Amino acid sequence: MMTVLTLEHFAERINETFIAASDGNAAFVLKEVQPLPSATLEGLMRKPFSLLFHHSSPILFSQKIFQMQHEAFGEVGIFLVPVARDSHGFLYQAVFN
């Protein structure tokens, strides 16, 4: 059975690197983990949250599911959307709800 990832799984991983092996071993550093407003729907599998990753490259990836590898999770698909650029690369956001 697949584990449902929650905010708590990622909160301990800030500043750790996730590797997108199928994208040339691109390194994404987890910079932020934030809770999101929770809907009042019953039966939710988890409380909503967002992740913000930084990728130090001048190359912009389009939004898609990245197969991320991390020692704590193994391989997990995370849908990332580019949301900002800084002087060192791009920021990508994932939303779990």
Q: What's the rounded Cα separation, in Å, for the pair 80 and 82?
A: 7
Task: For residue 17, give the 3-state DSSP assignment.
Answer: strand
Q: What's the rounded Cα separation, in Å, for the pair 8 and 87?
A: 30
**59-62 contacts: CB < 8 A, separation 24 or more?**
60/85, 60/90, 61/23, 61/26, 61/90, 61/92
Along the 97 residues of the chain, how does pLDDT read in single tens digits?
Answer: 457 888 999 999 999 999 998 999 999 999 999 998 876 666 667 788 999 999 999 899 999 999 999 998 899 999 999 999 999 999 999 999 8
pLDDT at 4: 81
Burial of 51 (0-12, 13-18, 19+ CB in 10 A): buried
pTM: 0.90
